[in-house]
Chains A and B, each alone.
Chain A
Amino acid sequence: MSGSEIVFYLFAALAVGSAIVTVTRQNPVVAAVWLVASFVAVAVSYVLLSATFLAVLQILVYAGAMMVLFVFVIMVLDVDEEGDAESRRPMRGSRFGYSLVLLLAGGMVVWVFVATLSKQFITPGARIDPAADFGSADAVGRLLFTDYLFAFEAVSLLLLAAVIGAVVVARSRREREKEAAAGGMQPEHMEAAGLSHPEQIVPGPFAQTDFGAPSAGGHQGGN
């Protein structure tokens, strides 16, 4: 067993194991931390596939940016640790739906096994040795900015649209009401859109986020 094989099986087991833990946790914060472990293990298997640039990207975007986003949203939402009644009703849908899901999952695993073992669709022996700079930022970037230039620009437009969409969707009701009033929207139109006019709102505390009661011992400070 060579070194790369040992590393692969070790980190493949880590990826699958932490993925299982992610899906089975009650507390979403704990699940997010295990998801980071799974992403890092997947990045290691990218390195073994000589996709070094993609491995760096995986760590930066998935384990870095996306997980920070997840954890921030969980903190803002202040989800209670009990996972809102999930423990009482662990399964969604009927017994039939549950068995259908298991059948789908099992069928997919069996299908992959049959496809790989029959060697009809892939030929594991026919391996082409890649060039020396295979998977480097240089080679991938060259391909990205020549053959895939249009797709690259389209994806950048998609990201811009997603950022704007996220800001628009996540605005609070009060912000939308203020904007509608400032934009000269008629009160009856605002009512039809499910908004109330700002002047009709009784002034009071408008806390958007409930940070919960302080912990019993308080913050002790120090490290």
Chain B
Amino acid sequence: MVPITHFLYLASALFVIGMLGVLLRRNVLIVLMSIELMLNGANIALVAFSRFHANLDGQVMAMFTIAVAAAEAAVGLAIVVSIFRSRTGTDIDDLSMLRD
């Protein structure tokens, strides 16, 4: 049986990889994919705690996370399409129209 700590190491590794992708990459599509990686890391931690406490609440939470991630991806990609139409580019450093 795999100890819970190893599941938590996997979860934190995925979360940190996703965080580095969000903070360091400039392609907005890769940034969205990195956000999905971070959500996956959080989900693994939820499910691991759920299993080791024999409590199903964590799995229900993970299900809600998946649903919210789907909504987030749909809206995020719609914004990417709309920005790409007007500005032609997926570089997030060029997207500062709310600031200036």
Q: Of B13, B27, B59, B64, which contacts A28 at CB under 8 A?
A: B27
Whether A92 lies near B23 (C-beta < 8 A) is yes
Scan A182-213; emit 1 where CB is below 8 A from any B CB, else 0: 00000000000000000000000000100000
How many inter-chain contacts with C-beta < 8 Å in the A-B complex? 236
A147 to B57 Cα, complex, angstroms: 9
Contact A23 to B59, CB < 8 A, known contacts A66-B36, A127-B52, A159-B71? no
Interface size on B (CB < 8 Å)?
74
Residue of B nearest to A28 (CB): B29
Whether B81 lies near A70 (C-beta < 8 A) is no
CB distance from A23 to the nearest CB of B (A): 4
A2 CB-CB contact with B under 8 Å: yes
Whether A139 lies near B56 (C-beta < 8 A) is yes
A22 to B21 Cα, complex, angstroms: 9
Scan A142-162; emit 1 where CB is below 8 A from any B CB, else 0: 011001100100010011011
Residue of B nearest to A91 (CB): B24
Q: Of A15, A57, A85, A113, which contacts B91 at CB under 8 A?
A: A85
Whether B33 lies near A31 (C-beta < 8 A) is yes
Whether A69 lies near B67 (C-beta < 8 A) is no
Whether A51 lies near B51 (C-beta < 8 A) is yes
Contacts of B40 in A (CB 8 A): 38-39, 42, 62
A92 to B94 Cα, complex, angstroms: 12
A74 to B19 Cα, complex, angstroms: 22
Q: Of B9, B16, B47, which contacts A105 at CB under 8 A?
A: B16
- Which residues of A (90-133) have their CB < 8 Å from a CB of B? 90-92, 98, 101, 104-105, 108-109, 112-113, 116-117, 122, 124, 127-131
Scan B1-23; emit 1 where CB is below 8 A from any A CB, else 0: 11111111110111111111101
Q: Of A91, A109, A117, which contacts B16 at CB under 8 A?
A: A109
A80 to B91 Cα, complex, angstroms: 12
Whether B37 lies near A22 (C-beta < 8 A) is yes
Q: Of B20, B30, B60, B90, which contacts A25 at CB under 8 A?
A: B30
CB distance from B50 to the nearest CB of A (A): 7
Contacts of A173 in B (CB 8 A): 85-86
Whether B56 lies near A155 (C-beta < 8 A) is no
B residues apposed to A, CB below 8 Å: 1-10, 12-21, 23-27, 29-30, 32-34, 36-37, 40, 43-44, 47-54, 56-57, 59-60, 62-64, 66-75, 77-82, 84-86, 89-93
The 3 closest A-B pairs by CB, nearest first: A162-B71, A23-B21, A166-B78
- Besides A42-B14, A208-B85, 18 other CB < 8 A contacts? A23-B18, A31-B29, A49-B48, A66-B73, A77-B80, A77-B84, A84-B27, A90-B24, A101-B19, A122-B49, A140-B60, A148-B60, A163-B74, A166-B77, A167-B78, A169-B78, A172-B85, A173-B86
